[in-house]
Chains A and B, each alone.
Chain A
Amino acid sequence: MERSISLDSIYLLDKAKAEGINTVWDRFEAQLPQCGFGETGLCCRHCLQGPCRIDPFGVTGPKFGICGANADVIVARGLARSIAGGTASHSAHAKHLAHTMLKFSRGQAPDYAIQDEGKFFAVLDRVGIERDGKSTPELAGELAQLALDEFSEREEPPVWLKTTVTEGRMAVFEKLGLVPAGLDSGVAEVMHRTTNGVDADAVNILLGAIKCAIGDYTGMFLATDLSDILFGTPKPVMAQANLGTLKENAVNVAVHGHNPVLSEVIVAQAEILKEEAVAAGAPEGINLVGICCTGLEVMMRHGIPSATNSLSQELAIITGALDAAVVDYQCIMPSLPFVDGYHTEIITTMPIAKITGATHIEFKEEQAGETAREILGLAIEAFKRRDPAKVSIPPVVNDALAGLSAESILQVLALLNPDDPLQPLIDNIVNGNIFGICLFAGCNDVKITQDKMFVDLIKELAAANILILCTGCAAGSFARHGLLTPAATEEFAGPGLKAVLTALGEAAGLGGPLPLALHTGSCVDNTRAASIATAVANKLGVDTSQLPVVATAPEAAMEKAVSIGTWAVAMGLPTHVGVVPPVTGSPLVVKVLTETAKDLLGGYFIVEPDAKAAASKLVEAIKERRQGLGI
């Protein structure tokens, strides 16, 4: 199997091989064959009497765990816990932003500000905070406190849930008992009901997991709101991608991880420290690049290049030109400090995410600027240790238009119809120029060729006139392959889609079409796409489960992708996954996820590893919905 189709990845994998350096791909091969009990979800370690395994063939091996749990219960419990893992991650990210806003409101975080007052007011109004007669810090304090309250248990449904989904969705959630009492409580409840001797009904466990995932949606929506308020709502910005954005004559610093809380301050400080970098022998100063979703956060707000995704993070080091990687949390490989023979300073910053072998500089919002300067100082010191003989930067750079938040998509649409921005979108969906909408999300997965499924699938869907939104590693992947450009629209979009993207692009003054995929944010920003779907559904007076909108995570890898996929299903979307999750040990769980969910929620999972087959299944799902709407 090819490891990657990304030219910069291939270039550096060759360099790694020549130098005998192991990467994630080698570690994956060392794991082969992977344990079939884990692959099928039939291993349980939830109590000390285990581990228990169910024989997937049902021949001679056990059909029950020691406690009596069968395959269905064990698989459902495992899946539920991975959804809780994903939800806990997004929730921690969201709470971090809420705490930052709270500190700002108390005057304890001088390096932060309300950067988007318009969104600030819009969110305050949406969540029902009275604005009259209150100062900005007072309002920020109230908003942060309300956000933090979302995580504990309340009698009322979470505010960021009930104010952001259609009434129909809320009614479905209430009817099925899927409204979490609080976002952290959803996680805790899954941990409880999946421990030994609690919930032993696979379908009920899955409902609990879906409830938890709806909490994930809520926390993600909240996180995006707070990020936009603190750091600005992304606007269309031209940027670049690939590892070719590293510069030989600059101190190269990668921000890596997920939360913009620190990286935003690093962006602000990098310019200030330029002279120090020049003095150290780097005429181009400090060159900030992004890896993973922290990278996408600063890409869409500041046009910082997206160097690479999480899967290929080690390859950035193997260029020999990366002087420091500043990491926060999530998707950061513990191997980073151990890429043999390279000088890159790995700097961890979060008290909950230290890595043995890395330098830890604890980040506190109170001293954000100071910490950022200290970190950049370390990067400049590391630059002095760089070995020029080891530097080899792949000559691969692609342009990428980023920053198409829901707000900026609406602003572009408003150029066609200022009074009713959604109407042009709806008209084009009705007339078939836009056959449907697909949100691409998720990760790269070492089990399949990096980016291949992303690229193959987008081409199929765009040719079928499906409007593409993308977030997270999907957005990073498309950026790396030049698919966030007008040229890609010219080459790959079907005629209807091309006409719409061209009209929008020209109205926006691009002098050509909008890119083939609209970069709607980092992976925590998937609710941006959901909010567009909700707005369209509300305008049409239908539910999101009726819209010709689908989602896909073709190269999903992380627990966070599992929780996002699950809430996408809960929102009513047919949701494709290109990598088989560890559920095949239970035909019942598979059936619930791929069939029964459709009856309950409208959304359901489609598991299909082949790009062409996946495309036709997604097109069929859209067709079914169009028929349902009579269009």
Chain B
Amino acid sequence: MKRLFVLPELCTGCKTCEIACAVEHSQSKTLLGAMLEPIPPHTRIYVEAVSNGHFDTQKMAMTCRHCDPAPCIAACIPQAMHRSADDIVNGTTIDAVTNVGGKNACIACGMCVMMCPFGMIARAAAPDGKVMALKCDLCPDRAVPACVEACPTGAIVYATGDEFAHQSRSRASVLLSGAKVLGESTLVQEVEE
């Protein structure tokens, strides 16, 4: 199953992913339309920074890891939070932890917010005004999640664990073999492949 992976070295902290995510989870799905909606849409991806307030700030987009087993599912009393696994539009298989379409409706108790080790669940108003647990659903209406498409530097990768691990391996192997002459950034090489 494809997941979101982030390459922190490519994250500029521009927060374009946050805006794209919020827009995708609005009713109109357009920036202008979303800004005019009575309930402002909520992002489900968060750009965080570990900063000394100066020049070596490390930035990283953080999103749901869709853990398995997922602490949020285990903690959900009404069993709203669940794992979906349905073949849907565009041929994309979505295997996302979500609380939309669960056994019962979310009661906004916040248990999942407490349990998520990554802080990736917000207790906030959905576009219909109902307060509930909002989190990444891997954009079920899209072939590629909105954040991935929006990222200007390609810092968010939508891939299976194997694919991503392979990319990391090949990057590391270049570094370890000392083949730095191939380019100033090993990432350049990888992309050119």
Contacts and interface: CB of A to CB of B under 8 A. Distances in A.
Q: Tell me if chain B binds chain A.
A: yes
Interface stretch (A58-66, A152-160, A194-202, A335-343): A58-66
B153 A61 contact: yes
A24 to B, nearest CB: 13
Interface of A: 1, 32-40, 53, 55-62, 447-449, 580, 609
B172 interface: no
Given A36-B12, A37-B12, A59-B154, A448 B53 contact: yes
Nearest to A53: B152
B154 A33 contact: no
Contacts of B49: 32-33
B88 interface: no
Q: Nearest 3 A-B pairs (CB), nearest first? A: A36-B12, A33-B13, A33-B49
Contacts of A1: 51-54
B153 A57 contact: yes
15 contacts: A1-B52, A33-B13, A33-B57, A33-B59, A37-B12, A37-B14, A39-B12, A55-B154, A57-B185, A58-B185, A59-B10, A59-B185, A59-B188, A60-B153, A61-B154
Given A34-B13, A60-B153, A580 B187 contact: no
Contacts of B10: 57, 59
A177 B13 CA distance: 40
Contact of B14 (A36, A59, A449, A580): A36
B82 interface: no
Contacts of A580: 55
B48 interface: yes
Contacts of A56: 12, 153
A62 to B, nearest CB: 8
Interface in B1-50: 9-15, 47-49
Interface centre among B12, B15, B51 (most CB of A within 10 A): B12
Nearest to B192: A59
A59 B53 contact: no
Contacts of A38: 14
A61 B10 CA distance: 10
Contacts, number: 68
Given A1-B52, A53-B14, 16 more contacts: A32-B57, A33-B48, A34-B13, A34-B57, A35-B12, A36-B11, A37-B14, A55-B152, A57-B185, A59-B154, A59-B187, A59-B188, A59-B191, A60-B191, A61-B153, A447-B54
Interface residues of B, number: 24
A585 B35 CA distance: 31
B191 A32 contact: no
A436 to B, nearest CB: 27
Interface of B: 9-15, 47-49, 51-55, 57, 59, 152-154, 185, 187-188, 191
B152 A61 contact: yes
Contacts of B11: 36
Nearest to A58: B188
Contacts of A60: 153-154, 191
A33 B55 contact: no
A259 B142 CA distance: 57
A609 B51 contact: no
Contacts of B57: 32-34
A27 to B, nearest CB: 13
A625 to B, nearest CB: 29
A443 B53 CA distance: 17
A36 B13 contact: yes
Contacts of A40: 12
A449 B52 CA distance: 10
Nearest to B60: A33
Given A59-B188, A60-B191, A33 B53 contact: no
A36 B16 CA distance: 11
Interface centre among A37, A38, A57, A447 (most CB of B within 10 A): A57
A59 B47 CA distance: 20
Contacts of A61: 152-154
A210 B160 CA distance: 52
B187 to A, nearest CB: 5
A449 B47 CA distance: 24
Contact of B153 (A34, A55, A447, A609): A55
B59 A36 contact: yes
Contacts of A33: 13, 15, 47-49, 51, 57, 59
A609 B12 contact: no
Contacts of B191: 59-60
A407 B55 CA distance: 40
Nearest to B50: A33
A59 B152 CA distance: 10
Interface centre among B10, B48, B187 (most CB of A within 10 A): B10
Nearest to A60: B154
A56 B48 CA distance: 19
A498 B185 CA distance: 51
Contacts of A447: 53-54
B9 to A, nearest CB: 8
Nearest to B184: A58
A350 B14 CA distance: 36
Contacts of B188: 58-59
B187 A57 contact: yes
Contacts of A58: 185, 188
Contacts of A609: 54-55
Contacts of B14: 35-38, 53
A37 B57 CA distance: 14
Contacts of A449: 53
A426 B131 CA distance: 74
B15 A59 contact: no
A57 B186 CA distance: 11
Contacts of B185: 57-59
A479 to B, nearest CB: 25
A35 B153 CA distance: 12
A326 B129 CA distance: 45
A62 B10 CA distance: 14
A320 to B, nearest CB: 28
A448 B54 contact: yes
Contacts of B48: 33
Contacts of B47: 33
B13 A59 contact: no
A408 B53 CA distance: 40
A286 B142 CA distance: 66
B66 to A, nearest CB: 24
A356 to B, nearest CB: 21
A448 B10 CA distance: 24
Contacts of B51: 1, 32-33
Contacts of A55: 152-154
B13 A35 contact: yes
